[in-house]
Chains A and B, each alone.
Chain A
Amino acid sequence: MTWETVIGLETHVELATRTKIFCACTTAFGGEPNTHCCPVCMGMPGTLPVVNRKVVEYACRAGLALNCTITRRNRFDRKNYFYPDLPKAYQISQLYLPIARDGHVEIETEGGKDTIRIHELHMEEDAGKLVHDPWTDQTRCDYNRCGVPLIEIVTEPDFRTAEQVIAYLEQLKSTLEYLGVSDCKMQEGSLRCDVNLSVRPAGSRELGTRTEMKNLNSFKAITRAIQYEARRQIELLEEGKRVVQETRRWDDNKDATFSMRSKEDAQDYRYFPEPDLPPLELSEAYLEELRAKQPEMAGARKERYQREYGLPEYDAGLITGQKALVDFFEAAVDLGAPAREVSNWMLGEMMRRLKEEGLEPRQMKLTADNLASLIQMVEEGVINRNTAAKVFRAVFPDNADVRDYVHKHGLEQVQDMSLVKRTVEEVLAEHPDAVADFRQGSQKILGFLIGQTMARLKGKADPRAVSQEVRQQLEG
């Protein structure tokens, strides 16, 4: 029998606000344990939460970008549970009236184009970090993350493959980065993903029993977990067993999922409307203002790059896929560097160096003005392309000024044509055999003679000028 995998995603995204959702504590990542807390986020009696205006704005903007309908009358709900990651013993979330609903995202994979429907997007607060100490058998609680604003984006079960899931997440990440509502750093947990997965016989319209996988911290882990879990469920069904609806934890080291809690203590959160927060009413004028502020997204920008700058579709897609690359590209172009040159440098040398150093574009020190200077030096004939590539690799790690670097290392192109002429004369005199070969019609030998001349000039001459000179002397 052939099986079909059905996947839905719940993605938690940390919003890039300065303060927490209901109090004025900082949201800065890291920090000594329990130094970003106050009576409000610690749930002390007598305190009252007050909503951060930016959180509502960011959630709305994300909802609009995902083509959702924004809920005009919003309210928060209280999700009750006893687990020491939240000292209040409840999480403030939105169950009944999520801020955005019924959206969709277009994705593209090798399998073609697909539409992924967004079920809802709601606001909630993050929980603290628990670390178990096996020596004392106690749990240590760090509440710095408590109350950090999150949006949870829930899709319909519209995915069939891991490739589609990754394409959606990349698209989501790019959209949120363009909006500037989240930095989406998976390693720091600002984008986390739970995968709901079930399998069914191909062609069936009914959904099978699903499991929910947590602890997926990278695209690689998501892909592997999906493949593992689909196989596990198919094997169970083929052996005539049942899939149990449960939460499973992905273990990156063991490359497998493990059951987290049994059905016996199924969760009962006893949600009720949050009495400490008055409702939020979003006016049409407010939403109109937000719509007007929405930036140009990846798809539109990609088309514009092709149209306006003449970039090939593939190159435009690579650059617009990451906001950090877009910012770099546009900064360099704004400084007057030709767009095609900037794009070629970025997708060639820059990507190569990033890969070698294991860096993300946003971690890079190299600045757009420095690359623009380098491109300008090539155009002015101060250095040739080969030298420029060497200079690029050298200045990349610390963003050393390219002009200083070229000057300090004496890399300026030889401008003195009489020196070029003299050097070619010397080379020809030393290689009479090669000269004879050329005269007998071997064009190949030309390259050898140009190479010899370039080497003698330490690679600093303009290769075109050298080539011309060699030809002239041979033919003359």
Chain B
Amino acid sequence: MKITAELVEHVSQLSRLRLPQEEKERMTGELEGILAYMEVLNTLDTREVEPLSHIFPIKNVWREDEVIPSQTRQELLKNAPTGNGETFLVPKAVE
């Protein structure tokens, strides 16, 4: 897959990353290299291998449906750059 300047622009936008011009150029090359290596991996025959969905061989880790008291709002809102004591406040985001 060819990594173009437009694609890097698009992906950085999706990731909310503001990259300076020289970094964008560097990224173009690096991403191309990473994808080229994926091509190498793709040459391996994995038809008999089950896809890995988790790095540990564990499954069915679950929790019973029992309520534990939540964090207090005061504690919770301490993490907010801006709040009004009840809600988090963010720049206008309603579609």
Say yes or no for B46: interface residue by CB 8 A criterion: no
Please give the number of chain A residues whose Cβ is less than 8 angstroms from any Cβ of chain B in the complex.
Answer: 50
- Given A34-B76, A140-B84, residue A26 in contact with residue B70 (CB < 8 A): yes
How distant is B27 from chain A, measured CB to nearest CB, in Å? 16
Say yes or no for A411: interface residue by CB 8 A criterion: no
Partner of A52, one of B14, B16, B65, B91: B65
How distant is A163 from chain B, measured CB to nearest CB, in Å? 31
Say yes or no for B90: interface residue by CB 8 A criterion: yes
User: Which B residues are in CB contact (< 8 Å) with A80?
Assistant: 14
Please name the residue on chain B nearest to A48 by beta carbon: B61
Say yes or no for B48: interface residue by CB 8 A criterion: no
How distant is B37 from chain A, measured CB to nearest CB, in Å? 18
- Given A53-B64, A54-B65, residue A39 in contact with residue B91 (CB < 8 A): no
Say yes or no for A377: interface residue by CB 8 A criterion: no
Q: How far is the CA of A363 from the CA of B89 in the complex (A)?
A: 36
User: Which A residues are in CB contact (< 8 Å) with B10?
Assistant: 268
Dominant secondary structure at the A interface: loop
Check A42 against B92 for contact (C-beta < 8 Å): no
Q: Which residues 37-77 of B have a CB within 8 angstroms of A? A: 53-56, 58-68, 70-73, 76-77
Q: How far is the CA of A53 from the CA of B87 in the complex (A)?
A: 30
Q: How many A-B residue pairs have CB under 8 A?
A: 126
Check B65 against A19 for contact (C-beta < 8 Å): yes
Say yes or no for B79: interface residue by CB 8 A criterion: yes
Say yes or no for B34: interface residue by CB 8 A criterion: no
Say yes or no for A295: interface residue by CB 8 A criterion: no
- Given A42-B76, A50-B61, residue A24 in contact with residue B87 (CB < 8 A): no
User: Which A residues are in CB contact (< 8 Å) with B1?
Assistant: none
Contact bitstring A14-33, B, C-beta under 8 A = 1, else 0: 00011100001110000011
Check B16 against A132 for contact (C-beta < 8 Å): no
How distant is B34 from chain A, measured CB to nearest CB, in Å? 15
- Given A52-B62, A278-B60, residue A24 in contact with residue B92 (CB < 8 A): no
How distant is A87 from chain B, measured CB to nearest CB, in Å? 8
User: Which A residues are in CB contact (< 8 Å) with B82?
Assistant: 138
Check B66 against A18 for contact (C-beta < 8 Å): yes
Check A50 against B63 for contact (C-beta < 8 Å): yes
User: Which A residues are in CB contact (< 8 Å) with B91?
Assistant: 137-139
Contact bitstring A307-333, B, C-beta under 8 A = 1, else 0: 000000000000000000000000000
Q: How far is the CA of A278 from the CA of B57 in the complex (A)?
A: 8
Q: How far is the CA of A39 from the CA of B76 in the complex (A)?
A: 8
Query: What 14 new A-B contacts, CB under 8 Å, besides A38-B70, A137-B92, A139-B93?
Result: A17-B65, A32-B73, A32-B86, A33-B73, A34-B77, A34-B88, A35-B73, A42-B76, A75-B53, A82-B16, A139-B91, A140-B89, A279-B53, A279-B59
18 contacts between A and B (CB under 8 A): A17-B65, A18-B66, A35-B72, A38-B71, A51-B62, A52-B63, A53-B62, A53-B63, A80-B14, A131-B87, A137-B91, A139-B90, A139-B94, A273-B53, A278-B53, A278-B60, A280-B60, A281-B60
List B residues at the A interface (Cβ < 8 Å): 10, 14, 16, 53-56, 58-68, 70-73, 76-77, 79, 82, 84, 86-95
List A residues at the B interface (Cβ < 8 Å): 17-19, 24-26, 32-39, 42, 44, 50-54, 56, 75, 80, 82-84, 87, 130-132, 136-143, 260-261, 268, 270, 273, 275, 277-281
